[in-house]
C-alpha cells in the first residue's frame, strides 16, 4: 500500500470559460469538482496505474464532507482522512479555452487545533506500519507546526519506509534536514531552498542539506535527478498545450510507482515525465490522458550518467 499525505486537502473546482478577461462577467461553459490537494491528486494517478493507495490528511465542514463523498467513489483509493472542526478549503481554477492558460485561486485552509494534529499523528503512525512508500505533499494548513513534515519524515524512516517530500518554503527546508529519500521541488522552490538558480548546482546543494535524491521539476524542460548513484535528465518529446494544474503531482505518482516497482532511475524519470505531460492534456488535476501517456512514455529522452554526484 502506498500512503499519500495531504495536510491541506481541498475541493478543486474547475471553471472553463471561452476567454478570461478582467473586469467583465463570464459565462462558464463547464464546471468540474474533484477531491484535491497535491497528495490526493497523486493518489488518483497511482490508483489509475494499478497501485493500492491510502489517502490521509484532514477534512472538515461541508466542503470536507463533499470531498470525502467523492473520494469514496474513487476506485483504488482508501479514505483515511482525519476529521477536523474547521472547513476544508476550496481551490478554484479558471481555464481560458482560447489560450489554454489557467488562473488559480487557493483558499488558506482550516485552522488545525493541537488535539487534531495529535490525532493525525496517531493515524499516520498506524498507516505507515503497513505502507510500502509515503508521499508527503503540499502546503501546511494554519495551526500545523512548521516542522510537521520533518517529524513525518523521521517517523517513516524509523520504520524503514521510503518517503517522498513535495512541499516548499520553510516546511521544505526543515523537511530536507530530516533526510527524506526523495524531494521533488520545482525550479523556484529549489532556488528558494538553496539560493542557486542553476538547476544542477541547486540539486547538489539540496542533497548536501539532507535529501538522498533530489528530483527537480523544470516545467516543460522535464526533470533533473541527482543522487549518490548519478544524475539524469528526462525531457518530454514536445511541449504540450493545456492545463498544467496537477502535472507535478502526476510526476510524484510516477516517481513513487517506479520506486515500489524497483525500476531503475531512468525508467522512473521517463514514467514521471510522461505522466506529467499527459496530465496537461487532461481536463482536471489527478487525471491523465492514457493514450498520450502510452505514446509519450517511449519517446521521453533520458540522458545521464551513473557516477557519484
Span 24-77, pLDDT tens digits? 999 999 998 889 999 999 999 999 999 999 999 999 999 999 999 999 989 999
Q: Which pLDDT score, from 0 to 100, does residue 79 have?
A: 96
Partners of 6 in the β-ladder: 57, 137
- HSE of 281 in the Cβ direction (CA atoms, 13 Å)? 16
Whether 12 is catalytic: no
Helix (H, G, I), strand (E, B) or coil at 222: coil
Task: For residue 17, give the nearest of 100, 131, 118, 105 by alpha carbon.
Answer: 100
Neighbours of 98 (CB within 10 A): 10
Q: Max alpha carbon distance in the chain (Å)?
A: 57
Band the pLDDT of 309: cuts 50, 70, 90: very low
Mean pLDDT of 210-228: 92
285 vs 83: which has the higher pLDDT: 83
Alpha-helical regions (H) of 244-285: 247-260, 265-280
Among the listed residues 126, 249, 289, 298, the single catalytic one is: 249
> What is the β-pairing status of strands 163-166 and 133-137?
parallel
Instruction: Report CA-CA distances (Å) from 228 to 69, 251, 258, 268.
Output: 43, 21, 18, 16
Distance CA 78, CA 76 (A): 7
Amino acid at each position: 500500500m502506498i500512503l499519500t499525505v495531504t495536510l491541506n486537502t481541498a475541493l478543486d473546482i474547475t471553471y472553463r470559460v471561452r476567454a478570461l478577461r478582467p473586469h467583465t462577467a463570464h459565462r462558464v461553459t463547464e464546471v468540474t469538482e474533484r477531491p484535491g490537494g497535491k497528495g490526493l491528486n497523486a493518489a488518483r494517478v497511482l490508483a489509475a496505474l494499478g497501485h493500492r493507495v491510502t489517502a490521509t490528511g484532514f477534512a472538515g465542514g461541508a466542503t470536507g464532507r463533499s470531498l470525502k463523498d467523492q473520494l469514496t467513489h474513487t476506485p483504488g483509493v482508501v479514505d483515511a482522512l482525519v476529521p477536523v472542526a474547521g472547513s476544508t478549503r476550496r481551490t478554484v481554477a479558471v481555464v481560458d479555452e482560447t489560450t489554454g492558460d489557467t488562473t488559480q485561486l487557493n483558499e488558506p485552509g482550516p485552522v488545525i487545533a493541537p488535539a487534531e494534529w495529535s490525532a493525525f499523528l496517531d493515524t499516520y503512525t498506524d498507516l505507515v506500519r503497513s505502507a510500502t512508500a509515503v508521499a508527503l505533499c503540499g502546503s501546511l494548513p494554519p495551526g500545523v507546526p512548521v516542522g510537521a513534515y520533518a517529524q513525518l519524515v523521521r517517523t517513516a524512516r524509523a520504520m524503514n519506509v521510503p518517503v517522498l517530500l513535495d512541499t516548499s518554503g520553510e516546511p521544505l527546508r526543515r523537511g530536507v534536514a530530516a533526510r527524506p529519500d526523495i524531494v521533488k521541488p520545482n525550479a523556484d522552490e529549489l532556488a528558494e531552498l538553496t539560493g542557486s538558480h542553476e538547476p544542477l548546482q541547486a540539486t547538489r546543494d539540496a542533497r548536501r542539506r539532507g535529501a538522498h535524491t533530489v528530483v527537480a521539476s523544470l516545467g516543460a524542460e522535464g526533470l533533473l535527478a541527482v543522487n549518490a548513484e548519478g544524475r539524469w535528465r528526462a525531457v518530454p518529446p514536445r511541449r504540450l498545450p493545456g492545463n498544467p494544474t496537477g502535472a507535478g503531482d502526476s510526476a510524484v505518482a510516477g516517481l513513487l510507482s517506479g520506486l515500489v516497482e524497483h525500476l531503475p532511475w531512468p525508467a522512473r524519470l521517463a514514467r514521471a515525465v510522461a505522466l506529467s505531460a499527459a496530465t496537461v492534456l487532461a481536463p482536471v488535476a489527478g487525471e491523465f490522458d492514457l493514450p498520450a501517456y502510452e505514446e509519450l512514455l517511449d519517446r521521453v529522452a533520458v540522458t545521464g550518467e551513473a557516477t557519484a554526484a
